[in-house]
Structure 1
Amino acid sequence: MGLRAFGIAGLICALAVSSAGAQTAALVAYAVSGDAIPQSLTGMPGDATRGRGIVVNRQKGLCLLCHTGPFAEERFQGDLAPSLAGAGSRWSDGQLRLRIVDSRRVSPNTIMPSYYRIDGLTRVGAAWRDKPVLSAAEIEDVVAFLQTLRE
């Protein structure tokens, strides 16, 4: 069965499981400007190699649950969201950062989860409350990797 069989509830459940590894910590404050978070959450650029690892990891980033991309070695890539191929050409660092941090700020009806948000969420398991799916450093790593995808 594919993701469509499980629907949004399955995606939310999967995200709750993936966030179990995230550490409880105060979220870094950030400023949204238009459709972007222009400043790095850590004050430093991320590591693209680590970012790729997060994107293809089905227990951490879960990106391939919904997205496809230039990952020939990865089977069963999603088709519910835009391809990640060319993401670095379509969006700036800041635009990618906001879409990962809280995509609902860009598209309120999106099915993409908020990877760096802990408030205003519903039906989150007790073990995973108050923990972002990704840390600020991991967000920056994913942004750095996505910027390498130019075609």
Structure 2
Amino acid sequence: MTMFAKPVACAAFLIVSGLAPLHAQEVVAPSAVSFTDMGGIETSLTGTPGDVAAGAELMNKGSGNCIACHKVTALSDLPFHGEIGPPLDGVATRWDEAQLRGIVANAKKTFPGTIMPAFYHTGPYVRPGDAFTGDAAKGDVAPLLSAQDVENVVAYLMTLDTYPE
């Protein structure tokens, strides 16, 4: 056997046996996201399951910072829960995974008048009033969250299936 024959034979065995995917799912770019009529995103943006712990971390930090606007009883040890958005307790009983993915990616697809930012969107952005005197960024800008961050937040939100007593 040549030096390439063994790896090729191994890969062929894994594919034929179903132990390896034929191809890995590529990350869906923000501009290529397909929303349902109700604003949901039916398929994963990455093909990789979300990490609940990483999603909980994003709820309080960086570009996620969900608790700045939303109350989450499960995260009551963290300070400064907001009251602008609805509480997220029981959110997994109100929306399914596809709907939550769509809301996190771009809530305006589900709630057109919302002030919640689009976390997986690159533009164009429109300045909402005269108070904004500077020019809006030209072209696309980086999304607030990566595709995997969106999946992680959704995985965490899917654990919020009860209401506090």
**TM-score, normalising length from structure 2?**
0.69
The residue aligned with 1:107 is 111
Unaligned runs of 5+ in 1: 1-25
Contact 1:100 1:116 in 2 (8 A): yes
Pairwise CA distance, 1:122: 3.5
Q: Which has the larger radius of gyration?
A: 2
- Aligned equivalent of 1:98, options 86, 99, 102: 102
Amino acid at match of 1:138: D
CA distance in 1 between counterparts of 2:50 and 2:79 reads 26
1:2-151 mapped onto 2 (5 Å cutoff): 26-27=29-30, 29-35=32-38, 36-57=40-61, 59-70=62-73, 71-122=75-126, 130-151=141-162
CA distance in 1 between counterparts of 2:148 and 2:99 reads 17
Contact 2:55 2:154 in 1 (8 A): yes
Contact 1:45 1:140 in 2 (8 A): yes
CA distance in 2 between counterparts of 1:109 and 1:28 reads 21
Contact 1:30 1:39 in 2 (8 A): no
Q: Which has the higher contact order (CA 8 A, sep 6+)?
A: 1
- Runs of 4+ displaced beyond 6 Å: none
Contact 2:31 2:121 in 1 (8 A): no
CA distance in 1 between counterparts of 2:136 and 2:142 reads 11
Residues 125 and 53 (structure 1), Cα distance of their counterparts in 2 relative to 1, 3 Å cut = farther
Instruction: Describe the SS at the equivalent of 2:67.
Output: helix
Q: Show CA shifts across 1:44-64 (max 9, x none).
A: 22111100000122x331211
Q: CA RMSD in A?
A: 2.0
Pairwise CA distance, 1:34: 2.7
CA distance in 2 between counterparts of 1:150 and 1:125 reads 39
Amino acid at match of 1:27: P
Contact 1:28 1:41 in 2 (8 A): no
The residue aligned with 2:13 is none
* Count of residues in Structure 1 that have an aligned counterpart in Structure 2: 124
**TM-score, normalising length from structure 1?**
0.75
Residues 149 and 78 (structure 1), Cα distance of their counterparts in 2 relative to 1, 3 Å cut = same
Q: Show CA shifts across 1:25-80 (max 9, x none).
A: x53722212321010000122111100000122x3312111100121211110001
CA distance in 2 between counterparts of 1:98 and 1:46 reads 15
Instruction: Describe the SS at the equivalent of 2:86.
Output: coil
Contact 1:103 1:114 in 2 (8 A): yes
